[in-house]
């Protein structure tokens, strides 16, 4: 059995009542999630967002990271966190 890969997902979700900033706004998210395939990574991403208080999550794109050395330096920590913990979320505030 091969080791799980890390996938990167672009998503949108609402900061729900249990979120650290429960303002009810929709945010753009970049989520790194570990999984054996895209479906498993999506499930991991959704569970991670649920635990952080995000609601109404929608996946816009999903792709496997096939070249870990190609992950940009500013995203490397999030990639590594997904490898060790399963999921990592970067929140982008809309202007």
Predicted confidence (pLDDT) at residue 95 exceeds the cutoff of 80 = no
Write the CB contacts of 13 (distance below 8 Å, at least 6 apart in sequence): 26, 27, 29, 49, 54, 55, 56, 57, 58
CATH number where 69 lies = 3.10.510
User: What's the mean pLDDT when you consider all of the chain?
Assistant: 94
- Domain extent at residue 29: 5-92
pLDDT at 2: 59
Is residue 63 pLDDT above 60, yes or no?
A: yes
CA dist 34 and 46 (Å) reads: 12
If one counts the domains in the chain, the total is 1
Gap between the Cα atoms of 41 and 9, Å rounded? 9
pLDDT tens digits for range 42-56 = 999 999 999 999 999
């Amino acid at each position: 059995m091969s080791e799980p890969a890390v996938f990167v997902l672009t998503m949108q979700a609402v900061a729900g009542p249990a979120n650290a900033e429960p303002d009810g706004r929709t945010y753009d998210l970049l989520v790194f999630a570990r999984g054996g395939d895209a479906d498993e990574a999506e499930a991991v991403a959704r569970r991670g967002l649920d635990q952080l208080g995000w609601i109404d999550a929608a996946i816009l794109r999903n792709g496997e990271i096939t070249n870990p050395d190609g992950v940009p330096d500013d995203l490397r920590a999030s990639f590594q966190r997904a490898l060790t913990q399963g999921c990592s979320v970067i929140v982008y505030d809309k202007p």
